[in-house]
Amino acid sequence: MKRWRVGWITLLVASLLLAGCSQSGGGGPEEQPSAPRPLRVLYATVEAGSEAVIAATERYQAITGQPVEVDTFPYNSLQEKVFSELARKSGQYDLMAVDTPWMPRILPHLEPLSAYIRSANPPIRVDDFIAKVFLDTSVFDSIQSRQQPPAMDVVDVDRIQNAGFDIWSLPIQSNVLTVSYRKDLFLDSANRSAFRERYGRELEVPQTLDEYLDLARFFTRDTNGDGTVDLYGTTLMAGMSEANFVDFKSFLNVYGGELFGHNMRPVFNSPAGVRALETYGDWILKDKVTPPGVTGYTWDEVEIAFGYGQTAMGMNYHDMKLNPKVQGQVGSFMLPGVERNGTIIRGPHFGSWGLAVNKYSRQKQAAFDLAAYLAGVEAQQGYLKYRHHVTRMSAYEAARHLGDTSLREYYDVLGASLRVGVGRPRIKNYNQLSEAVQTAVQSYLSGRQSAKAALDQAVDTVSQFMIMEGY
């Protein structure tokens, strides 16, 4: 755990000194105003851009005089901490960073925010949030948490409440699957000529998964002539972790599949699901366009492989940079999809962090005010220099004026990807779903089961869990 105390110690010492001075004078002691009680914030580490948010918290303290303490934890520890604090109805933390899949379990312990939003002064401009991000992250039915909120292009608090939903957090960071690529390799004249000769079209950013595979095959090669492949076309995150689940989920979305049917029964063993897993496996086992150790990769290994020039393209949930020893230029593009009736259907996985007010806090209004600032227009534009994954349209507009070409391009891709992304299912046993699919992916990649058999087994497992949870 990392703890950041923002100015409150100085204020506390100063208040004690002032109190002492007031009682040492000739007259009776003068009553001094008490120092504000520190707001306590429970936040993630790098997963939710802690550096940017802590810097903004320091600015908030300087502006308002409100002392703030921020405790940061890595993902798994944070989840345990949030759940344990709320389970014992503790008011120790006033504001909490919450990952979207936790929401169905913890809604009864959070403060609904619609009334706070309506009375906020200055207004917090909910219409400036990317609507898909806001609805997925923050809008839930407190009784039937699995229900999807009404679709809307612009966030409207009245429409949300009239449909039986409320707002339970403010989106602070969104992550979505995008592709970083070696732009220098794509622009190389020799590569362009060779690709044109081999495939009969120009070497360009791919729009479909088939085009992506062609590029991955083209760039998989022995670059130094020693008989060993040392450059691979792409990466995947096929290790036994949440990473392989959201990889599979993204392929499933592209092929038109779903995790659950209308009755909340798992259906990812459909033909679309089988095609998604077989395609995923072919890239590794048949086409061999990924590094040899990719069946153990998560987001960290992907970044290392791409950064050290081992791959021409790499999928991840943030922009990736090259190691200074690797000479090259990095660009970004959206996860490719499938063409249907002249339209490219995409479905990159996305998920967001929200700032939620603890129902048991003794400073709920002050906690909301801090959340409104941290998720506000000014703060989010300030996050750009930290490469933070902002959630407001105005911040993406500001990003178009950044001097760093690569970063400017990434924000453009990130914003466009969030608008077509597919979020997580709203279920209380999300971790069980993820682990069952992870096992299926690994079972197929290791050759223990066919894609259909592995997914059938995972569906059976998830079905039992869903019944146990009352779905």
Nearest to 416 by CA among 336, 342, 362, 330: 336
pLDDT digits (tens, 9 = 90+) for 176-222: 999 999 999 999 999 999 999 999 999 999 999 999 999 999 999 99
What's CA 295's distance to the chain center, in Å?
22
Q: List, in sequence order, the alpha helices (H) in 286-376.
A: 299-307, 364-374
Band of the pLDDT at 273, cuts 50, 70, 90?
A: very high
pLDDT digits (tens, 9 = 90+) for 40-91: 999 999 889 999 999 999 999 999 999 999 999 999 999 999 999 999 999 9
Tell me the pairing of strands 139-140 and 166-167: antiparallel
Mean pLDDT, the chain, as a whole number?
A: 92
Coil, strand or helix at 147: coil
pLDDT at 270 over 50: yes
Task: Specify whether the CB–CB gap between 272 and 328 falls below 8 A.
Answer: no
Structure-block tokens of residue 171: 């989106």
Q: DSSP secondary-structure letter at 326?
A: S
Task: Specify whether the CB–CB gap between 311 and 255 falls below 8 A.
Answer: no
pLDDT at 348 over 60: yes
Q: How much is the pLDDT for 1?
A: 52
Q: How much is the pLDDT for 263?
A: 87
More confident residue, 348 or 10: 348
Q: Which domains does the chain have, with CATH numbers?
A: 2-176+351-420 (3.40.190.10), 178-348+427-468 (3.40.190.10)
Tell me the pairing of strands 313-316 and 330-334: unpaired
Q: Collect all residues with Cβ–Cβ distance below 8 Å to 206 and sequence separation of at least 6.
A: 212, 214, 215, 333, 336
Q: Collect all residues with Cβ–Cβ distance below 8 Å to 348 and sequence separation of at least 6.
A: 176, 177, 178, 250, 253, 334, 335, 417, 420, 421, 422
Nearest to 148 by CA among 424, 434, 421, 354: 424
pLDDT digits (tens, 9 = 90+) for 370-415: 999 999 999 999 999 999 999 999 999 999 999 999 999 999 999 9
Task: Specify whether the CB–CB gap between 466 and 270 falls below 8 A.
Answer: no
Q: Mean pLDDT over residues 136-159, rounded? A: 95
Task: Specify whether the CB–CB gap between 269 and 277 falls below 8 A.
Answer: no
pLDDT at 466 over 50: yes
Q: How much is the pLDDT for 10?
A: 33
Q: Mean pLDDT over residues 142-164, rounded? A: 95
Q: How much is the pLDDT for 5?
A: 43
Band of the pLDDT at 108, cuts 50, 70, 90?
A: very high
Other beta carbons less than 10 A from residue 187's beta carbon = 12
pLDDT at 17 over 80: no
Q: How much is the pLDDT for 21?
A: 38
Q: How much is the pLDDT for 47?
A: 86
Q: How much is the pLDDT for 201?
A: 96
Coil, strand or helix at 82: helix
Band of the pLDDT at 34, cuts 50, 70, 90?
A: low
103: left (phi over 0), alpha (psi -120 to 50) or beta: alpha
